[in-house]
Amino acid sequence: MTGTAVFDHPILSGLFGDEEIAPLLDAEAELRAMLAFESALAEAEADAGLIPHEAGLRIAAACAGFIPDIPTLKEGAARDGVVVPAFVKALRAAVEAPHDAHVHHGATSQDVIDTALTLRLKQVLPVIDHRLEHLVGRFEEIGEKAGDLPLMAHTRMQRALPFTAADKLANWRLPLERCRARLAELQPRLLVVSLGGPVGDRVSFEGLGDRLAEDLAKRLGLHPAPVWHAQRDCIAEFGAWLSLVSGSLGKMGQDVALMAQNEFGEVRLGEGGGSSAMPHKSNPIAAEMLVTLARFNAGLLGALHQALVHENERSGAAWSLEWMVLPQMIMTTAAGLRHAEALAANLTFVPLS
Amino acid sequence: MTGTAVFDHPILSGLFGDEEIAPLLDAEAELRAMLAFESALAEAEADAGLIPHEAGLRIAAACAGFIPDIPTLKEGAARDGVVVPAFVKALRAAVEAPHDAHVHHGATSQDVIDTALTLRLKQVLPVIDHRLEHLVGRFEEIGEKAGDLPLMAHTRMQRALPFTAADKLANWRLPLERCRARLAELQPRLLVVSLGGPVGDRVSFEGLGDRLAEDLAKRLGLHPAPVWHAQRDCIAEFGAWLSLVSGSLGKMGQDVALMAQNEFGEVRLGEGGGSSAMPHKSNPIAAEMLVTLARFNAGLLGALHQALVHENERSGAAWSLEWMVLPQMIMTTAAGLRHAEALAANLTFVPLS
Amino acid sequence: MTGTAVFDHPILSGLFGDEEIAPLLDAEAELRAMLAFESALAEAEADAGLIPHEAGLRIAAACAGFIPDIPTLKEGAARDGVVVPAFVKALRAAVEAPHDAHVHHGATSQDVIDTALTLRLKQVLPVIDHRLEHLVGRFEEIGEKAGDLPLMAHTRMQRALPFTAADKLANWRLPLERCRARLAELQPRLLVVSLGGPVGDRVSFEGLGDRLAEDLAKRLGLHPAPVWHAQRDCIAEFGAWLSLVSGSLGKMGQDVALMAQNEFGEVRLGEGGGSSAMPHKSNPIAAEMLVTLARFNAGLLGALHQALVHENERSGAAWSLEWMVLPQMIMTTAAGLRHAEALAANLTFVPLS
Amino acid sequence: MTGTAVFDHPILSGLFGDEEIAPLLDAEAELRAMLAFESALAEAEADAGLIPHEAGLRIAAACAGFIPDIPTLKEGAARDGVVVPAFVKALRAAVEAPHDAHVHHGATSQDVIDTALTLRLKQVLPVIDHRLEHLVGRFEEIGEKAGDLPLMAHTRMQRALPFTAADKLANWRLPLERCRARLAELQPRLLVVSLGGPVGDRVSFEGLGDRLAEDLAKRLGLHPAPVWHAQRDCIAEFGAWLSLVSGSLGKMGQDVALMAQNEFGEVRLGEGGGSSAMPHKSNPIAAEMLVTLARFNAGLLGALHQALVHENERSGAAWSLEWMVLPQMIMTTAAGLRHAEALAANLTFVPLS
């Protein structure tokens, strides 16, 4: 049984995981995306005359049915610091001579790994955005029904003056709406193909690199972009966006946890939150989780931005740091949205009497 | 002599400080901005009929000439956790009866402090953007002259293949160009007025709050916005942007420090970097500083995003955390741009022989 | 296939994981430790006369053979924010009437979860300490053989003056020796039993709480301690220690990566580090990984110390944050030691000529 | 008027600063400590026969009366990345020929800067420890008077069961007691002299380096130690300790802020905490500040541990990062202790009725 990280933990993943997002990010999805890259690259290179037409067909066909041997890949990743050499070797064996030599033509590890990331993000982002949209809609619904209810505003942890549920809801809704706008802005920068060749100058594509990158992007449904091997700002920007979302949800969670204090009773939540020792209690689990997830993501964001210092043309150290951090940030944000939806679905304001 | 923080340190500010940005952010600038807020608020409220016309004139006149007593303000901030109560009291004394009661009408501490922040950011951002523009231009210039020079690309700290200075410069330039685009996107969200009244519902403005906020924004040259007392996403977004800039510069700094290694000799820098023990050395100070500043800002970003969990209608704890972090992040970014400019001004590539 | 976190990732765990430590930390180990707690608690409570002698025997016997249903526990954890209610319910069912009611007598979730943590740490720490000892020994060995070799010292990324391999080795060895000393100091604070009852006052143990805690500690091979439910300093201290270790290894990794630059050639490493595009390269993977792991742990440490703000008598939010962070910090440190051992085993200094 | 950082801010330093600690850390104190180092070094070197007896006397005399020109030092620090070259040059001018050449004999920048740090820490630590002791004593006093008062325990933000003020106080006191024990443990590692010479091998002291380091340590009231230029674990350990203290105080602050909620009324604080808009409010400023300071220090700790990756024999980048972070961490901790003392002095528990 695995389980040092909460997201894939056999028990804790019920709390911290996300069954919709996890399969879009996991090793299987990554391998599928890597094969999609190699397949589309071969086809684009065949079209451009960089590799034989036959090789393009054969490689694409092999990619469609290729199931790599995981232990071999694991061993390769441990040895080479990245799975790509072992992966390409195995794929070449599947493609067989004489076309095997044309697999991964002109490309480098970072091309396939980074494109496999953005390909998966292309699937993840609509899910996250849809959850944001849904949550915003849910807050609007609550507001329509209960926006006029009087609540007590608290500033600096003290009772201030009465205000309304609509004011409270605005604090939860508006940051999420702005996050949706931000996502629309950053998406064209993020969902781009990576194609640079060994040192990021596209020289290995014999003068056809820019055209190839454009064609490859088209085939993969990504945006074309200049080489970004050593330019990690769009990754770091995305991490910050994730933390903005989870932080905004954390604010909502903290509000709800405070309002749900028995001494306040300003909000009623659904069931759940049992205690092993005190059966009379009903703990605001989802609200607490939102705070936890916000603080975790904020901490990880600090680590991710360290990876901006990506030395030279490819930094094994900085790049690997992204691998450790970014998937967790996505899962954290997704779990937050899941908990926020559950919270919002069951939340009822108790008006000030 | 003060000096626990490097930015204002009598000695180290030469290295870490920024003489152009510091006066735009310091206590004096903040007080000026606070007075601009109170003055414009009074004028707008007089126009709206919320306070007497005479009071508006008198308050604006008083704000123009008001020099607060700093020790009194310091004492007030220590007592109240925010300078505003002492500041308003002092300003009311300057305005004198009968108009004194109309000072700060309907507003709350967060309105004046947050607007005084965005007012200063409105001055800071063009300076930073101008430096970015200048740096981008400098990289283009170097590229025009020396873009074809052959350099050795390094991946994973090892010699890879030759490429050109233009490829190296692209890694330094493109993230900064994207940061300029991002700044244009976030600026309308950031440079907004804050006007919410005690609990952020604008009720204290007797139904005229939205119109007043719009008028106030116009007078101050800011964008109008819904109340954002407890919505800190635009602040956190800006912090992330600052770290994107300093991180991108940190990558350049790390590259230059590596290229300037004697064993590499791929770059010639100007003078400077003396050693107290080894006169033969010339240390790449500016390049190192870029790395330092990038790592510092990345760390602070993690702290700033903790402040997204801003409980209730105003969190003293989370708000104060922003005060500790954000000005430093701005100074760090500004110092980075200053060092990057100096570095770029003197940098010469030594072609691969 | 799971795999959003690198430690348990089907492919990347070869690089980031640790096959010796992972099974000491995973869900299965946690359940075993939880059963050890409940078993020892029942025996101690039977001895103290708090529960019937028969119940103690029966519970201990049931714990010995109990295999919980994981999906049930996962569902419970998702609902209650902690696995304990579902776990205790399932264990009670296994114990059966009339003894079932005596399971977990007087204890609370945090007692079992926190003790299950320290029980696993008790197994993890000797492994880590042994690796530290071994690494220190390896550096001593290298020093005995090659300590006199002249190397070039570099300060501020520039050639400074010649010094010796012994000087370099001291920089890698001494921090680890100090970390061993620190571990000896903190261990008695960390490897303690947690027993507080619902609100941490041991009242549920009817005046026998202190004696019970001492007996329980003895049975479990832990130190006794006052209740520490809401006092997380020893956890945070341990996290800092982990980061000290991985940071000290990160310094070594950065040194080696720099010395292994082709332009330096100051060190020869073993094989490995293949490139998918450049067969001539040999990348210093282990050295890079040490830097990655150091930076990751430093970032996580910032998150872990946020959990010191553990509100009230038990904070779901802060406690859960520890669960997200601490196991990863341990794995990161362990992986670093593994890579450092591999690096040290194959490292040869190339003397300055 | 300066003021980008809160600690030295003309207004906010009342809230965030510490008038007792600031002068022990500031630029003036640093220069005094640097002169103490150079003076003691010269005397020790004269004793050891490394420099003429006369030179030792003359240098010590010059150090006693030397007042450096700050603008010159600032310019030097900006140029060289460290103040030492300019400082030594100025000190040599004050010493005058023929003894001037013997100033700073065999030493390097890091020797004087790092020793000047530990010399100041030697003054700071007793103040901090004394505050800890005093705070622990205050909690004991409150406990003696009011320990039996019944309070409501809260777990997961919900009412749990009654317990006593003594239980609450234990959560605040015990971590501080452990921090005192930790300080005693780490102090001998931290309060050490730094003497390594240009590349940290003490070769510049002609075989007398170890003896010299011991003599120097004795003269300065520090512990002797092997060269630690590139071994930053003791600095990082100290940073973690500071964050343990401020985090433990943050827990207390969060507790008090929650107990002081009007809906709870479990604690009465003294006066203070005025609002600019709501005169009826009394905000728990000191309690909030403890949370702010805890979160800030936790964030900075993440940045400080990045500096463990101190490449080669001296890293300008990593060393400068410490300068940015460590003084702030000390000030943050000191301010926290100041606020905690004020809070504890005025705090009264309101028993559960």
E strand or H helix that includes residue B267? strand B267-268
Tell if the CB–CB gap between B328 and D5 is shorter than 8 Å.
Answer: yes
Residue C2's pLDDT is 63
> What sign does the dihedral D109-D115-D117-D120 (CA atoms) show?
negative
Nearest by CB to D25, from B4, B81, B307: name it: B4
Instruction: Give the whole-number percent of chain D exceeding pLDDT 90.
Output: 93
Residue D81's pLDDT is 96
DSSP conformational letter for D151:
E
Chains that touch D (3 or more CB pairs under 8 A): A, B, C
Residue B287's nearest CA partner among B260, B264, B247 is B260
Contacts of C315 in chain A (CB under 8 A): 288
Instruction: Identify the residue among C156, C192, C264, C289 best suited for mutation to test binding to D, counting D beta carbons within 10 A and taking the highest.
Output: C156
Contact status of C291 with chain A (Cβ, < 8 Å): yes
Distances (CA, A) of B72 to A278, A341, D8, D10, D14: 51, 48, 16, 11, 10
CB A53, CB A100: distance < 8 Å? no
Residue B336's pLDDT is 98
Paired strand residues for D150? D164
CB interface of B with C, residues 180-239, below 8 Å: none
> What sign does the dihedral C180-C186-C188-C193 (CA atoms) show?
negative
CA atoms within 13 A on the CB side of A76: 19
> What sign does the dihedral B190-B92-D14-D281 (CA atoms) show?
negative
Which residues, given as ranges, of chain B have pLDDT below 50?
none
* pLDDT class of C282 with cuts at 50, 70, 90: confident
SS (H, E, C) chain C: CCCCCHHHCCCCHHHHCCCCCHHHHCHHHHHHHHHHHHHHHHHHHHHCCCCCHHHHHHHHHHHHHCCCCHHHHHHHHHHHCCCHHHHHHHHHHHHCCCCHHHCCCCCCHHHHHHHHHHHHHHHHHHHHHHHHHHHHHHHHHHHHHHCCCEEEEEECCEEEEEEEHHHHHHHHHHHHHHHHHHHHHHHHHHCECCCCCCCCCCHHHCCCHHHHHHHHHHHHCCECCCCCCCCCHHHHHHHHHHHHHHHHHHHHHHHHHHHCCCCCCCEECCCCCCCCCCCCCCCCHHHHHHHHHHHHHHHHHHHHHHCCCCCCCECHHHHHHHHHHHHHHHHHHHHHHHHHHHHHHHCEECCCC
CB A26, CB A17: distance < 8 Å? no
Q: Hey, what amino acid is at A93?
A: A
Q: Hey, what amino acid is at B179?
A: C
Instruction: Give the whole-number percent of chain C exceeding pLDDT 90.
Output: 93
Render the burial of B29-45: b for 16+ CB within 10 Å, e for the rest: bbbbbbbbbbbbbbbbb
Å from C320 to nearest chain B CA? Answer: 16
Which value does ipTM take for this structure? 0.97
Distance of alpha carbon D40 from alpha carbon D111, whole angstroms? 12
> What sign does the dihedral A222-A224-A229-A232 (CA atoms) show?
negative
pLDDT, average across residues D48-77? 97
Cβ neighbours for B11, distance < 8 A, ≥ 6 positions apart: B3, D27, D30, D70, D73, D74, D77, D83
pLDDT over threshold 60, residue C1: no
Instruction: Identify the residue among C15, C158, C288 best suited for mutation to test binding to B, counting B beta carbons within 10 A and taking the highest.
Output: C158
pLDDT over threshold 60, residue C295: yes
Contacts of D308 in chain C (CB under 8 A): 243-244, 247-248, 250-251, 294, 298
Contacts of C16 in chain A (CB under 8 A): 320, 324
Give the tens place of pLDDT for each residue, C28-46.
Answer: 999 999 999 999 999 999 9
Contacts of D160 in chain C (CB under 8 A): 198-199, 313-314
SS (H, E, C) B180-208: HHHHHHHHHHHCECCCCCCCCCCHHHCCC
Contact status of D157 with chain B (Cβ, < 8 Å): no
Instruction: Identify the residue among D195, D223, D308, D321 best suited for mutation to test binding to C, counting C beta carbons within 10 A and taking the highest.
Output: D308
* pLDDT class of D104 with cuts at 50, 70, 90: very high
Distance of alpha carbon C298 from alpha carbon C321, whole angstroms? 16
Residue B158's pLDDT is 95
pLDDT over threshold 70, residue D117: yes
pLDDT over threshold 70, residue C275: no
Nearest by CB to A199, from B153, B186, B294: name it: B153
Residue D310's pLDDT is 98
Contacts of B153 in chain C (CB under 8 A): none
Tell if the CB–CB gap between B325 and D15 is shorter than 8 Å.
Answer: no
pTM for the full model?
Answer: 0.98
Residue B172's nearest CA partner among A231, D119, A6 is A231
Distance of alpha carbon B126 from alpha carbon A23, whole angstroms? 44
Instruction: Identify the residue among B151, B258, B263, B308 best suited for mutation to test binding to C, counting C beta carbons within 10 A and taking the highest.
Output: B263
* pLDDT class of D4 with cuts at 50, 70, 90: confident
Distance of alpha carbon A67 from alpha carbon A57, whole angstroms? 18
Q: What angle do CA B33, B39, B42 make, to 5 degrees?
A: 140
Å from A183 to nearest chain B CA? Answer: 11
Reported residue count of chain B is 353
Tell if the CB–CB gap between C292 and A318 is shorter than 8 Å.
Answer: yes
Contacts of B82 in chain D (CB under 8 A): 276
pLDDT over threshold 90, residue A279: no
Give Cα B51 distance to the centre of its chain. Answer: 34
Give the tens place of pLDDT for each residue, D179-193.
Answer: 999 999 999 999 999
CB A121, CB D246: distance < 8 Å? no
Instruction: Identify the residue among A231, A329, A352 best suited for mutation to test binding to B, counting B beta carbons within 10 A and taking the highest.
Output: A231
Tell if the CB–CB gap between C308 and D247 is shorter than 8 Å.
Answer: yes
E strand or H helix that includes residue B163? strand B158-164
Distance of alpha carbon A283 from alpha carbon A272, whole angstroms? 7
Residue of B nearest to A185 (CA): B185
Residue of B nearest to C258 (CA): B157
pLDDT, average across residues C162-178? 98
CB C81, CB A15: distance < 8 Å? yes
CB C329, CB C301: distance < 8 Å? yes
Q: Hey, what amino acid is at B12?
A: L
Reported residue count of chain D is 353
Give the tens place of pLDDT for each residue, A18-75.
Answer: 999 999 999 999 999 999 999 999 999 999 999 999 999 999 999 999 999 999 999 9
CB C80, CB A289: distance < 8 Å? no
CB D166, CB D76: distance < 8 Å? no
Give the tens place of pLDDT for each residue, D296-351.
Answer: 999 999 999 999 999 999 999 999 999 999 999 999 999 999 999 999 998 999 99
CB A181, CB A129: distance < 8 Å? no
Residue A194's pLDDT is 98
Å from D61 to nearest chain C CA? Answer: 32
Contacts of B158 in chain C (CB under 8 A): 260-262, 281-284
CB C212, CB C298: distance < 8 Å? no
Contacts of A24 in chain C (CB under 8 A): none
CB D271, CB B198: distance < 8 Å? no
Structure token digits, residue A159: 């009772």
pLDDT over threshold 90, residue D44: yes
Chains that touch A (3 or more CB pairs under 8 A): B, C, D
Structure token digits, residue B134: 């200048």
Residue C353's pLDDT is 82
pLDDT over threshold 80, residue D273: no
Residue A3's pLDDT is 66
Chains that touch B (3 or more CB pairs under 8 A): A, C, D
Residue B276's pLDDT is 67
Residue of D nearest to C189 (CA): D178
Residue of B nearest to A177 (CA): B233
pLDDT, average across residues C62-75? 96
> What sign does the dihedral D60-D63-D64-D66 (CA atoms) show?
positive
Residue C105's pLDDT is 98
pLDDT over threshold 80, residue C151: yes
pLDDT over threshold 90, residue A178: yes
pLDDT, average across residues D100-113? 98
Give Cα A261 distance to the centre of its chain. Answer: 33
* pLDDT class of C270 with cuts at 50, 70, 90: confident
Structure token digits, residue D74: 């600032």
Contacts of D237 in chain C (CB under 8 A): 182, 240, 244
Tell if the CB–CB gap between D198 and B317 is shorter than 8 Å.
Answer: no
CA atoms within 13 A on the CB side of D12: 24
